[in-house]
Amino acid sequence: LAKTTQPISMDSYEGQEVNITCSHNNIATNDYITWYQQFPSQGPRFIIQGYKTKVTNEVASLFIPADRKSSTLSLPRVSLSDTAVYYCLVGEGTGRRALTFGSGTRLQVQP
């Protein structure tokens, strides 16, 4: 399974754009990149998934360079409610193996 590396923590202020980068040097050809968000005392929640280039939804954008060895989750104009732990996962595309969670990035948004 591809191992992921992401910063342990990040700080930001309300209204700023936050970019969290994840390294996955051993990503395989049929692996997808998925990001989850987890608030205290809750289960993780899906944010976004991509394979290459750029994916955007109503919550975030995901940038994946051509070599796919890293990815960047971009959260536009964060608010206090975006304070959470963000997990980057790399999963095998056939779905035979479940995604593996790392330790995640703890994002703290200040007023």
Partner 1 sequence: EAGVAQSPRYKIIEKRQSVAFWCNPISGHATLYWYQQILGQGPKLLIQFQNNGVVDDSQLPKDRFSAERLKGVDSTLKIQPAKLEDSAVYLCASSLSISTDTQYFGPGTRLTVL
Quote the least distance from Cβ 110 to partner 1, whole Å: 21
Does 7 participate in binding partner 1 (rule CB under 8 A)?
no
The first and second tokens of residue 52, run together, are 């290459």
Residue 104's Cβ-side half-sphere holds a number of Cα atoms within 13 Å equal to 15
Quote the least distance from Cβ 74 to partner 1, whole Å: 19
104 exposure class (CB count in 10 Å sphere: 0-12, 13-18, 19+): buried
Stretch that binds partner 1, among 18-26, 52-60, 68-76, 92-100 (CB under 8 A): 92-100
Instruction: Tell me how far apart the alpha carbons of residues 105 and 111 are, in angstroms, rounded to a whole number.
Output: 19
Instruction: Tell me how far apart the alpha carbons of residues 39 and 62 are, in angstroms, rounded to a whole number.
Output: 20
Quote the least distance from Cβ 111 to partner 1, whole Å: 25
Smaller CB separation from partner 1, 15 or 93: 93
Smaller CB separation from partner 1, 55 or 92: 92
